[in-house]
Amino acid sequence: MLEINLLRTDPEKVRENIRKKFQDQKLPMVDEVIRFDREYRDAIQQADTLRNRRRTMSKEIGGLLGKGMKEEAEKVKAQVAAMAEELTALEAKEEELKAEIRKRMLVIPNIIDDSVPIGRDDSENVEVQRYGEPVVPAWEIPYHVDIMERLQGIDLDAARSTSGNGFYYLMGDVARLHSAILSYARDFMIDRGFTYVIPPFMIHGNVVTGVMSFAEMENMMYKIEGEDLYLIGTSEHSMIGKFIDTILEEDSLPRTLTSYSPCFRKEVGAHGIEERGVYRIHQFEKQEMIVVCKPEDSPLWFDRLWQNTVDFFRTLDIPVRTLECCSGDLADLKVKSLDVEAWSPRQQKYFEVGSCSNLGDAQARRLQIRVRGADGKKYFAHTLNNTCVAPPRMLIAFLENNLREDGTVAIPEALRMYMGGKDHIG
């Protein structure tokens, strides 16, 4: 959510940002916010003037009664009563205008960083760098579910019977591999100085609207019927929510946290749920990283976060590349975002396995996460998040890149201690 002063002083900057994101339908909102804000401030001024007059006239009543001027005092009382009704109407108008302003401010996109490439959608994202040599083996790489089934490691039919499409049973060595990857990711991030956290897996509605846009919320979140609780779509939601309505001392920053959680997503939209596969599903697990820091430090932390994911995949010998997300591919709260993609030997192309985002002060402003500086002044923190690893999607890249010609799957050195010393499965 933008600072209202930006719309008051430089509305054209906000309009130009909307155009860069190809959301011209939102342009009228800028003028609407400016108009409502003007009316809101006028209503506040009128109410303040009325309160001052009422206080003065209330004092007059006592003086008139003291002089025995009962009739005059009654007239002033009637005027004060009328003012009270007018004041109530003005206060109601203030609340109504405040709500109209906030409704639009929650939809107007955050100002993107100057370095963000301009483009309409993810087809115009820009490759930044590649790490590792993508290899296509001489033998055929089967579909990832076929690999798992040959290892007796997945049962989609049973899951479809119990829960429907978008769910799975992982079993045996594949299930163990899934857990091993998460355990390794946990220790990898702890070794990088992050504090390990297991957060709540459900959050209140005010936290949901604080951490994400309405469009994301509608397409992602599962609501608990009859309660103000939502299942998290990523632990970023509850991790950032951890700091709601707090004032952090500047010398306590940055807060660097890494969290494990299951994630639950509707996956409503163009992509939908896979009939047979674990790439896009309703339930998965993830090791996340989040940072709360001073505004001037967020560009540095952005680069550190995505590099952590690249380094993690490189320790498992999985080739990856990084893509700078263009303006049209950025969610409304994001200032800058970068995707990490892993190599798929079967498809002979890269696919997304993680996303790193700098949200500036957007989440902090919505959730009132403030920092007290050395001078005692308060300002909004910056928040960032990034995926370290999210199996079972990551399992696709792992299995394809480590599959041997005989159908066994090699276990890299980094994972063997989590797999009971095994150097392969199959």
pTM: 0.90
**pLDDT 10s digits, 200-215:** 999 999 999 999 987 7
Tell me the β-bridge partners of 260: 287
Three-class secondary structure of residue 29 per DSSP: helix
What's the confidence (pLDDT) of residue 78? 82
What's the mean pLDDT in 72-76?
76
Q: pLDDT (tens digit, 9 = 90+) per residue, 266-310?
A: 986 656 676 688 998 999 999 999 999 999 999 999 999 999 999
Per-residue pLDDT at 269: 61
Domain 122-425: CATH superfamily, name plus number? Bira Bifunctional Protein; Domain 2 (3.30.930.10)
- For residues 129 and 322, the answer to whether their CB atoms sit within 8 Å is yes
pLDDT in tens, 326-370: 999 999 999 999 999 999 999 999 999 999 999 999 999 999 999
* Tokens, residue 276: 């047979």
Give residue 270's pLDDT. Answer: 53
Q: What single string gives the DSSP state of each residue in 359-375?
A: -TTHHHHHHTEEEE-TT
The secondary structure of residue 376, as a DSSP letter, is: S
Q: Which CATH topology does 4-105 take?
A: Helix Hairpins (1.10.287)
CB 297 within 8 A of CB 254: yes
Tokens of 398: 């792992």
Instruction: Say which residue the tokens 């599903």 belong to.
Output: 281
pLDDT for 261 equals 97
Q: Looking at this protein, which amino acid is placed at residue 425?
A: I
- Residue 184, class by beta-carbon neighbours within 10 Å (0-12 exposed, 13-18 middle, 19+ buried)? buried
CB atoms within 10 A of CB 229: 17
C-alpha distances out from residue 262 to 121, 134, 238, 342, Å: 28, 30, 12, 21
Question: What are the extents of the domains in the chain?
Answer: 4-105, 122-425
Q: Which band of pLDDT confidence, cut at 50, 70 and 90, is reported for residue 174?
A: very high
